[in-house]
Amino acid sequence: MKGVAGKVATAERAAASPLVSIVAPFFNEAMVIDRFFGQVIGVMEALGTPWEIICVDDGSQDRTLELLLEHARSNPAITIVELSRNFGKESALTAGLDASAGDVVVLLDADLQDPPSLIRQMLDKWREGYDVVYGVRRSRRSDSLLKRMTARGFYKTFNALTAEPMPENTGDFRLLDRRVVDRLHELPERTRFMKGLFAWLGFSSIAVPYDRPGREEGESAWSYWKLWNHALEGLTSFSTLPLRVWTYVGLTVSLLSFVYASFLVFRTLVFGVDLPGYASLMVVILFLGGIQLISLGVIGEYLGRVFIEVKQRPVYLVNRVHQFASDDRDADGDEG
Ligand code: UDP
Ligand code: MG
């Protein structure tokens, strides 16, 4: 990211063997679970540093939880955070981050679209002193043309409207230093637009390019409608420009109206009243009516966000936390 102070290369970090927490959200991912643990555990064991995996079950309706528990039973390094229902990826990630203990936390998609093999490289960057190491897709070839175009449009719009630019083609795949995780935890907002929050947080950050493979099993939970709403959420959470722009639209329209009104008065005084004018009247009424409704809609969008924030509901609710010690006891917690 631009405009961020340089990294701090500390001797302790370079030599450290930090506890690495992997945080992965699971929503109906039964088909990939075995492969997920196979790959991730392989990578983690090769790192030669302590690790844990926090799996968040985001209210899955298939066998996801059952399979996760099977793996957790056989490996005490795996913790399952079971949410009370589906809260969405952003909330699930927040739950996972809150449950993590690592000096370093890596956010990873369950569907293996974020290659775990990159973790080593990310950790090396962290040792160099970077606090945030984020994956950047080298290409979006695995996405459809429409998705690529809409994604591009979104980044352009977002970065034009906000002060803290968000790097293009990033996902949530990233490594975070504990300090960043703690600061993120302190942000009080309910609308967790993660990518935007990371950009807002700053800290010394660096990109690691990677090729994003297609989804191996199942299908993306993101429909275009969901993506559109997600984009709106991101924009309205980080910019008030859509609200402010109406002042200028109003000013411009008023100014034009004034000029046109003067012309009409002048013409009436000189040439007298002429009745026809239905078409122009309708055009003006409909046009202004439309503009007013749009501006009301934008205000409503923000009002809705204020409403959600004011209610102060938790971002997620934990049903149970499953962590099996080697003697197979289920230590349950129920914090929120
Ligand atoms: N996910 C989640 N809750 C949801 C939707 C998705 O926890 O409501 C998880 C999902 O299991 C996966 C990750 O978020 O681990 C990314 O989801 P997906 O692959 O559907 O998104 P895409 O890769 O298309 O961005
Ligand atoms: Mg995916």
Identify which of 252, 323, 262, 312 has the alpha carbon closest to the alpha carbon of residue 287.
252
SS3 56: strand
Measured in Å, residue 14 CA sits from the centre of ligand 1 at 33
302 with 239: CB under 8 angstroms?
no
pLDDT at position 334 is 42
Instruction: Please name the residues in contact with 84: beta carbons below 8 A apart, sequence gap of 6 or more.
Output: 59, 317, 318, 319
- From residue 52, give the alpha-carbon distance in Å to each of 18, 22, 101, 139, 219: 11, 6, 8, 30, 27
329 by Cβ neighbours in 10 Å (0-12 / 13-18 / 19+) ranks as exposed
Sequence-distant contacts of 294-297: CB under 8 A, at least 24 apart = 295/246, 295/249, 295/250
Q: In the chain, count of helices (H) and strands (E)?
A: 11, 8
Q: Is the CB of 57 under 6 A from ligand 1?
A: no
The b-or-e profile of 91-117 (16+ CB within 10 A means b, else e) is bbbbbbbbbbebbbbbbbbbbbbbbbe
Measured in Å, residue 140 CA sits from the centre of ligand 1 at 17
Measured in Å, residue 217 CA sits from the centre of ligand 2 at 9
pLDDT at position 298 is 86
**pTM for the model:** 0.76
Which amino acid belongs to residue 303? L
pLDDT at position 11 is 67
Sequence-distant contacts of 218-227: CB under 8 A, at least 24 apart = 218/28, 218/29, 218/31, 218/32, 218/111, 221/27, 221/28, 221/89, 224/146, 224/150, 227/147, 227/150
pLDDT at position 59 is 92
pLDDT at position 9 is 58
Question: How far apart are the C-alpha atoms of 107 and 234, rounded to whole Å?
Answer: 19
Question: How far apart are the C-alpha atoms of 242 and 315, rounded to whole Å?
Answer: 25
List the chain pLDDT tens, one digit each, 336 residues: 444 445 555 667 777 789 999 999 999 998 899 999 999 999 999 988 999 999 999 999 999 999 999 999 999 999 999 999 999 899 999 999 999 999 999 999 998 888 999 999 999 999 988 999 999 988 777 778 888 888 888 888 888 888 788 888 888 899 999 999 999 999 888 888 888 888 888 888 899 998 887 776 667 767 888 888 888 888 888 888 888 888 888 888 888 888 988 888 888 888 887 777 777 888 888 888 888 888 888 888 899 888 888 888 899 999 999 988 765 444 444 443
pLDDT at position 335 is 42
Q: What is the CA radius of gyration of the chain?
A: 25
Q: Is the CB of 137 under 6 A from ligand 1?
A: no
Q: Is the CB of 220 under 6 A from ligand 1?
A: yes
Q: Is the CB of 316 under 6 A from ligand 1?
A: no
